[in-house]
Amino acid sequence: MSNINGVDAVGILERMRTADERTQRALLSAVAEPGDLKIAQLVEEHGVLGVIERIALPDPMPELHARLSARLVKTDPDNDLERVQLLGGRLIIPGDLEWPSQLNDLGGAAPWALWVRGAADLRLAMLRSVAIVGARACTPYGARVASEMASDLALAGWMIVSGGAFGIDAAAHRGALAADGLTAAVLACGVDVAYPPRNESMFEHIAAGGWLISEVAPGAVPHRARFLVRNRVIAAITRGTVVIEAAVRSGSLATARAALELDRPVLGTPGPVTSPLSSGVHQILRNGALLVTCAAEVIEAVGELGHDLAPVPVGQQLHLDQFDSITRAVLDALPSRGVMSSSDVGRCAGVSANEVLVSLTRLELEGVVRRQDAGWSIVRRAVIGGAPR
């Protein structure tokens, strides 16, 4: 099949003219790069078969033919479909019941197909999904935050979506898996390719109960451009994106920008101000991203308005929090050392003699103050305002 200008390309075209749209899109996903806006425009104007015709034939678009016809003659979509089926996967296309309709928000940049390995009904699972992305060379702090947040989100019934890379991605996937939750990895390679190879075991666990997703055909290897364009899918397919540890030039920020363009919530978890790996997160927080520190805050941002509310954070409940304002005023009037008469306490606190007596009696019963011959003193071991008085 080396004669790309002759019978081979024409023969493939003739096969595609009688093939269904799924097979046509399988071919296109192997020939054209994902995110190719020129191809997307042609698909919109002429349909998938029309694009294949323009790739296979020198006219009417010789530049497109010259650029992609060599790939065309090396592609066997039937083999790719069979290959992914043997792995328990499938190709889903726009119009399928399983197609996540939120991907259509990408407009001309939407995928023309998704290769999927894993459980059924990707669309339904993605209705409650959150992207967690960040640095590959993350710190132990970042890995812990990502893992715990993903685990808590999974326990709350949310799907965790990331890119399957080292660092924050892997920590998020593993956190969800540890909670027996759902997770999906959006890959820059074929769903049958383990990249990075050291994550192969993790990918198998994801495919067993979650999803491996790719725009490119089985066997495709990753390269830089594919990593960048797959970020838009991560942003579009989820309800919001959380960035945990990212340098100023991190690829994770591309996912955040894509989410912002789609009007999806962009969330960031801060780190030490001295850490370069948190500088990118701090930048998006300054530019309007929402600061989150736990799963409950993430759910409040991406969940149902007015229902998925995070609990209001409260400080440590101290023993003295139970006292009313008058009793507190009386307590504050007492010196930290020494003794004061009840009349002097009343003058300092600005309360009546009866109120002083009631308050001091209550404080005595609680073990906060003690009565002495010369007046009243504070018990040294009492904790007031969180610190020894």
Task: Read off the pLDDT of each residue in 276-296 and give the average, rounded to a whole number.
Answer: 95
Name the range with the highest mean pLDDT among 260-264, 301-305, 375-379: 260-264
Instruction: Give the per-residue pLDDT at 5.
Output: 42
pLDDT band at 237 (very low <50, low <70, confident <90, very high): very high
Instruction: Give the per-residue pLDDT at 148.
Output: 97
Instruction: Give the per-residue pLDDT at 379.
Output: 87
Domains of the chain, start order: 7-75 (no CATH), 101-302 (3.40.50.450), 319-388 (1.10.10.10)
36-61 pLDDT, tens digit each = 999 999 999 999 999 999 999 988 89
Among 80-94, 143-157, 300-314, which is the least confidently predicted range? 300-314
CA distance 204 to 88: 12
Instruction: Give the per-residue pLDDT at 50.
Output: 94
Closest CA relative to residue 242, chosen from 168, 151, 183, 175: 168
Q: Are 154 and 179 in contact (CB under 8 A)?
A: yes
- What tokens were used for 215? 């725009």
Instruction: Give the per-residue pLDDT at 10.
Output: 85
> Does residue 313 have a pLDDT over 80?
no
244-264 pLDDT, tens digit each = 999 998 889 999 999 999 999
Instruction: Give the per-residue pLDDT at 337.
Output: 84
Q: Are 1 and 73 in contact (CB under 8 A)?
A: yes
Task: Read off the pLDDT of each residue in 326-336 and give the average, rounded to a whole number.
Answer: 89
Q: What is the DSSP string of 70-133?
A: HHHTT--HHHHHHHHHHTTEEEE-TTSTTS-GGGGGGGGGS-S-EEEEESS-HHHHGGGEEEEE
Distances (CA, A) of 131 to 34, 98, 152, 242, 284: 20, 19, 14, 6, 16
Q: Are 115 and 29 in contact (CB under 8 A)?
A: yes
206-231 pLDDT, tens digit each = 999 999 999 999 999 998 889 999 99
Instruction: Give the per-residue pLDDT at 167.
Output: 96
CA distance 234 to 374: 73
pLDDT band at 352 (very low <50, low <70, confident <90, very high): very high
162-217 pLDDT, tens digit each = 999 999 999 999 999 999 999 999 999 999 999 999 999 999 999 999 999 999 99
Beta carbons within 10 angstroms of residue 377's beta carbon: 17
- The residue ranking higher by pLDDT, 312 or 68, is 68
Mean model confidence pLDDT for the chain: 90
Q: Are 281 and 255 in contact (CB under 8 A)?
A: no
pLDDT band at 309 (very low <50, low <70, confident <90, very high): low
Instruction: Give the per-residue pLDDT at 387.
Output: 42
Instruction: Give the per-residue pLDDT at 317.
Output: 47
